[in-house]
């Protein structure tokens, strides 16, 4: 499969079925999942943003003032707001207005919808590339990774941005065959920018493929080649002019200060849009495949910033300064302590192999190995196919689509592997890669199933391929399913068989958990045993989460939040290597080193509960 | 050959998956039940003597704290395999050698030198409980954390002028910021829980001093201390080296000293032999030009030599 193709009716049905299955599974299981530190922040943000929409409905003129916008949208302005707005509106509709869902479920619903896109789209792309079996395996391969399933439950951005990244790539791929998808690619890119900043890397990943395709499609057609040159020229000229503008204005600060609605800055952007459109119209007259290759890039360049600006009211009155602040925040993000192979990583440079090692130790091994063989086979075909002497060894050359999938499978991993990039957050920052690694795993499994089926067909001619694929899938997916069920809902504690599970990972010196959501494991004990009105110190649990546990009926409403062990009657300490001092402060405050209960997953301490002796 | 590759690959994938399933099937049997812990705790309750300690293997298996009788200290921290546990003449090792990646041989290689197993290993499900005679035990004749209430504590300027830090029944509190006091507390020094004397450096050239009487002569005098929690890690140039010392109050001679520059983590130790004769009075002090992140916790001990193992 060289270029994009529309799904067949059966593929569409299966994709919908996968979407519904994933959405339903996430919805049915979410109530057990605790509220991560970030999630409760996004709950608050979502409510605040939703309140602005109420105001917009009731008093539009006032709502559109900067003061009203800042009042509602200033909270958590370090992230764009597409997902938080959806969380907030869903909460407003399904909890506040209709009362159909508990508060947390209503917030999380849009996250499920977005996460469910991953198996559906993965199936469509995988099926088009390697057949239905590969697509199906890829779809399950993402959702059965315990950490990925856990993150899919959360009203956060990491799984949604992986889904959006996949959507952009899917649109890009479809655009290679149908130019209208180029426009959708631009829209999807804008929405991805609105989901999380990972999207900023997408143009760098996809543009080389667009140019490669345009270059090969224009071979032997000088006029088309000339238009391709003009396309590159327009973008290069705008980039150079922006560079000169920065220099002439005395650097980034001057550039930012002089960036007004009517300024050379916006003029250059308009020039890019007009120039890009002019080139696309021109090239379309001589070579449609070149147009289809370039249209997504032009659409991303133009629609991306426009949608990003429009989706975020916080930017409407002060787009430049507030966007600059947002970008600077992520360029200089804090480094949180992170335990890795018995070392507490606190600051860069971080180990180059971190991402690969962490992936190997957390993705169920029966899924990780086909990911590796799938990627290795693709790379081997690419390398062998590049040389005259070895080309014959390759059954079929690597297609453009395969190259796109292969590069996307490693792009996020390579970006996060950079030793200066923050390394906290487990595996969530390279989820976009995992989607594509799943497709390559599907390819590896499917080619084995096909080979086995062909061998068996010699003896049983009527043997359907599914009769081979189904048991193979069952064997390969079963360990991941067992692992997922075993660790659920404590997803940040999931470790693979290669690690030796959670006990093996603890001995290896890996971070056992983070984000505080495992506290749900001790809340029933606290509810049953805490004295009326007891002061409760939930270590690492965000104040908003404390409120959310009470709001959603998971924590008794009479219990009061305490700020430290010294002020508390009960302490639930989250076992982190970097926070050992907090447990010893509890020993000091309570005069005992003996906990009363705890959450111990496969023996590893996760949350340890102490009670002040005089209040027992 | 190339046609066989997918089959070989699939075969490999299936073998891996089956091994994974075996791993999951075996794992529950390698984990102790509550009854196993209770049985081990019963043996400890019956056989442990005052001064005994429990060491966890692997170091992180802290669920045991729920069950071990509270009177017996439990050690289990990153690095505890190497701990001399010198305060304890006997050590019970509560082990889980069947856990994935448990390296019992590696543990024993670190733990065994200077120690000898006493009696038989008892097994409680996958738990093992073994008593060891601790040849690294050093009987303690004096510890500052126990004698702190009798100390005279003051802030001392370089010219010798002093401001007293009166004892309020719990701590010796100094004039100035609330963190300037001396009292024994639990703190972390590079993952290790230590009950030690909180002596935050006061800043500038002045010293926080605790004067302690009754330190036996003719023994090893040890100073052990460090910067607690995450504060030891930063190497920021604005931070300054912390100096810890022990002087002989009678002669003014410096007996022990430690310098802890920014970035130096862990417990730092120094030892000297205190001359025999009448009990000594020592001045334990802390000083750092910049007091920021110089949260010191220390102990001063008078200890006998290692007892070694018998037989």
CA B240, CA B218: separation in Å to the nearest integer? 35
Angle in degrees, CA B42, B43, B45, rounded to 5? 65
Report yes or no: A369 at the B interface, CB cutoff 8 Å. Answer: yes
Rounded to a whole number of angstroms, the distance from the CA of A491 to the nearest CA of chain B is 17
**Residue B242: CB partners within 8 Å, gap ≥ 6?**
B201, B227, B259, B260, B261, B286, B287, B288, B294, B296
- pLDDT value at B246 more than 90: yes
DSSP sequence for A171-231: HHHHHTT-THHHHHHHHHHHHHHHH-GGGGGHHHHHHHHHHHHHHHHTTT-HHHHHHHHHH
Per the prediction, chain B carries an average pLDDT of: 97
What pLDDT, on a 0 to 100 scale, did the predictor assign at position A616? 64
Binding-face residues of A in 455-494 toward B, CB within 8 A: 455, 472, 475-476, 478-479, 482-483, 486
Contacts of A159 (CB under 8 A, 6+ apart): A111, A114, A115, A118, A148, A151, A152, A428, A431
CB atoms within 10 A of CB A21: 16
With contact defined as beta carbons under 8 Å apart, do A39 and A87 qualify?
Answer: no
- Answer whether B56's CB lies under 8 Å from B130's CB: no
In whole numbers, what is the pLDDT of chain A averaged over residues? 96
Nearest to A49 by CA among A96, A87, A97: A87
ipTM of the complex: 0.97
Say if the Cβ atoms of A370 and B13 lie within 8 Å. Answer: yes
Residue with tokens 């923050």: A422
CA A436 to chain centre: 12
Please indicate whether, in this complex, the C-beta atoms of B14 and A475 are within 8 angstroms of each other.
yes
Q: What is the pLDDT of residue A1?
A: 47
User: pLDDT, tens digit, for every residue of A124-160?
Assistant: 999 999 999 999 999 999 999 999 999 999 999 999 9
Which residue in B62, B74, B100 is closest to A503 by CB distance?
B100
Any chain B CB within 8 A of the CB of A311? no
CB A296 within 8 A of CB A186: yes
CA proximity to A363, closest of A166, A165, A148, A156: A148
Q: What is the token pair recorded at B245? A: 């010392």
User: How far does the CA of residue A395 sit from the closest CA of chain B (Å)?
Assistant: 8
The helix/strand/coil state of A236 is helix
Q: Measured between CB atoms, which of A452, A478, A593 is closest to B65? A: A593
As a whole number of angstroms, the distance between CA B31 and CA B42 comes to 19
Q: Which residues contact A466 (CB under 8 A, 6 or more apart)?
A: none
The pLDDT value given to residue A426: 84
Hey, what are A46's tokens?
């979502």
Q: How far apart are the first and last CA of chain B?
A: 65
pLDDT score at B311? 62
Question: Which DSSP helix (H) or strand (E) runs through B124?
Answer: strand B115-124
Compute the distance between CA of residue B191 and CA of residue B185 in angstroms, rounded to an integer: 15
> A508–B24: do the CB atoms touch at under 8 Å?
no
The length of chain A is: 616
pLDDT digits (tens, 9 = 90+) for B14-73: 999 999 999 999 999 999 999 999 999 999 999 999 999 999 999 999 999 999 999 999
pLDDT tens per residue across span A140-150: 999 999 999 99
Beta bridge partners of B300: B223
The pair of structure tokens assigned to B99 is 């856990």
pLDDT at A2: 55
Q: In terms of Cα–Cα distance, which of A308, A241, A303 is closest to A268? A: A241
In this complex, which of A483, A584, A603 lies closest to B24 when CB atoms are compared? Answer: A483
- Residue of chain A with shortest Cα separation from B127: A603
Chain A contact set for B74 (CB, 8 A): 593
Distance between CA atoms of residues A559 and A570, nearest Å: 10
Task: Give mean pLDDT in consecutive 10-residue pieces for chain A, a chain of 616 residues.
Answer: 83 98 98 97 98 97 98 97 98 98 98 98 97 98 98 98 98 97 98 97 98 97 97 98 96 93 94 97 96 98 98 97 95 91 95 97 98 98 94 91 98 96 89 98 98 96 96 98 97 98 98 96 98 98 97 98 97 97 98 98 98 83
Examine the pLDDT at B2 and tell me if it is beyond 70.
Answer: no
How many whole angstroms separate alpha carbon B55 and alpha carbon B62?
10
B31, B73, B185: residue with CB nearest A603: B31
């Amino acid at each position: 499969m060289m270029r994009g193709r529309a799904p067949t009716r059966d593929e569409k049905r299966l994709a919908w079925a996968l979407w519904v299955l994933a959405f339903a599974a996430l919805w049915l299981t979410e109530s057990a999942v605790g509220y991560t530190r970030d999630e409760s922040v996004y709950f608050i943000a979502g409510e605040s943003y939703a309140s602005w929409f109420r105001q917009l409905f009731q008093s539009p003129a006032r709502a559109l003032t900067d003061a009203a916008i800042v009042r509602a949208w200033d909270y958590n302005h370090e992230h764009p707001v597409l997902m938080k707005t959806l969380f907030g509106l869903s909460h407003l509709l399904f909890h506040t207005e209709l009362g159909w869902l508990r508060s947390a479920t209503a917030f999380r619903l849009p996250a499920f919808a977005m996460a469910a896109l991953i198996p559906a789209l993965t199936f469509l792309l995988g099926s088009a590339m390697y057949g239905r079996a590969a697509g199906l395996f890829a779809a399950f391969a993402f959702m059965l990774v315990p950490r990925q399933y856990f993150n899919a439950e959360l009203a956060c951005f990491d799984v949604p941005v992986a889904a959006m990244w996949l959507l952009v790539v899917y649109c890009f791929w479809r655009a290679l065959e149908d130019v209208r998808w180029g426009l959708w690619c631009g829209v999807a890119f804008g929405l991805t920018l609105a989901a999380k900043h990972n999207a900023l890397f997408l143009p760098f990943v996809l543009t080389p493929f667009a140019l490669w395709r345009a270059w090969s499609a224009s071979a032997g057609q000088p006029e088309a080649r000339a238009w391709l040159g003009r396309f590159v020229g327009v973008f290069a000229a705008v980039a150079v002019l922006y560079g000169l503008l920065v220099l002439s204005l005395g650097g980034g600060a001057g550039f930012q200060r002089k960036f007004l609605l009517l300024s050379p800055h916006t003029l250059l952007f308009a020039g890019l849009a007009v120039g890009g459109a002019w080139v696309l119209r021109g090239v379309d007259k001589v070579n449609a495949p070149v147009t289809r290759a370039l249209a997504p890039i032009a659409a991303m360049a133009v629609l991306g910033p426009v949608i990003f600006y429009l989706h975020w009211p916080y930017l409407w009155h002060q787009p430049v300064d507030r966007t600059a602040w947002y970008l600077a925040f992520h360029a200089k993000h804090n480094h949180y302590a992170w335990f890795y192979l018995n070392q507490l990583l606190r600051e860069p440079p971080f180990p180059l192999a971190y991402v690969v090692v962490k992936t190997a130790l957390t993705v169920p091994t029966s899924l990780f190995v086909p990911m590796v063989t799938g990627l290795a086979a693709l790379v081997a075909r690419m390398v062998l196919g590049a040389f005259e002497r070895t080309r014959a060894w390759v059954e079929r050359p690597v297609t453009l689509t395969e190259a796109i999938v292969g590069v996307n499978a490693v792009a996020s991993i390579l970006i996060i592997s950079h030793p200066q990039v923050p390394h906290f957050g487990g595996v969530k920052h390279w989820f976009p890669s995992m989607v594509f690694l799943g497709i390559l795993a599907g390819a590896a499994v499917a080619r084995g199933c096909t080979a086995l089926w062909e061998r068996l067909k010699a003896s049983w001619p009527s043997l359907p391929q599914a009769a081979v694929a189904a048991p193979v899938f069952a064997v390969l997916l079963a360990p991941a399913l067992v692992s997922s069920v075993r660790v659920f809902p404590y997803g940040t504690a999931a470790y693979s068989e290669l690690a030796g599970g959670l006990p093996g990972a603890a001995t290896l010196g890996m971070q056992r958990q983070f984000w505080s959501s495992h506290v749900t494991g001790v809340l029933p004990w606290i509810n049953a045993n805490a004295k009326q009105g007891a002061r409760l110190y939930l270590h690492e649990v965000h104040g908003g989460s404390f409120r959310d546990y009470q709001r959603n009926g998971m924590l008794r409403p009479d219990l009061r939040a305490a700020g430290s062990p010294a002020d508390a009657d009960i302490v639930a300490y989250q076992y982190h290597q970097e926070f050992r001092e907090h447990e010893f402060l509890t020993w000091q405050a309570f005069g005992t080193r003996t906990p009363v209960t705890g959450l111990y997953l496969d023996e590893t301490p996760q949350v340890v509960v102490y009670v002040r002796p005089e209040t027992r | 050959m190339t046609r066989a590759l997918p089959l070989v690959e699939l075969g490999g994938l299936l073998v891996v998956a089956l091994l994974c399933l075996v791993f999951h099937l075996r794992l529950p049997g390698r984990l102790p039940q509550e009854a196993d812990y209770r049985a081990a705790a019963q043996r400890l309750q019956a056989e442990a003597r005052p001064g005994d300690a429990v060491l966890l293997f692997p170091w992180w298996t802290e669920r045991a704290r729920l069950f071990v009788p509270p009177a017996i200290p439990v050690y289990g921290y990153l690095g505890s395999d190497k701990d001399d546990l010198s305060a304890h003449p006997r050590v019970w090792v509560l082990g889980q050698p069947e856990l994935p990646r448990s390296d019992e041989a590696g543990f024993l290689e670190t733990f065994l030198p200077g120690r000898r197993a006493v009696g038989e290993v008892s097994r409680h499900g996958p738990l093992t409980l073994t008593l060891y005679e601790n040849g690294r035990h050093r009987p303690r004749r004096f510890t500052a954390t126990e004698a702190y209430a009798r100390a005279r504590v003051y802030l001392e300027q370089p010219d010798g002028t002093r401001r007293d830090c009166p004892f309020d029944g719990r701590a010796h509190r100094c004039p100035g910021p609330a963190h300037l006091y001396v009292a024994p507390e639990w703190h972390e020094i590079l993952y290790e829980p230590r009950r030690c004397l909180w002596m935050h450096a006061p800043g500038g050239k002045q010293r926080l001093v605790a004067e302690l009487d009754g330190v036996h002569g003719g023994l090893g005098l040890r100073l052990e201390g460090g910067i607690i929690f995450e504060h030891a890690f930063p190497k920021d140039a604005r931070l300054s080296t912390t100096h810890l010392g022990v002087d002989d109050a009678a002669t003014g001679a410096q007996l022990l000293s430690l310098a802890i520059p920014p970035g130096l983590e862990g417990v730092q130790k120094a030892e000297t032999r205190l001359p025999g004769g009448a009990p000594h009075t020592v001045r334990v002090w802390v000083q750092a030009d910049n007091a920021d992140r110089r949260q010191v916790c220390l102990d001063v001990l008078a200890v006998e030599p290692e007892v070694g193992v018998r037989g």
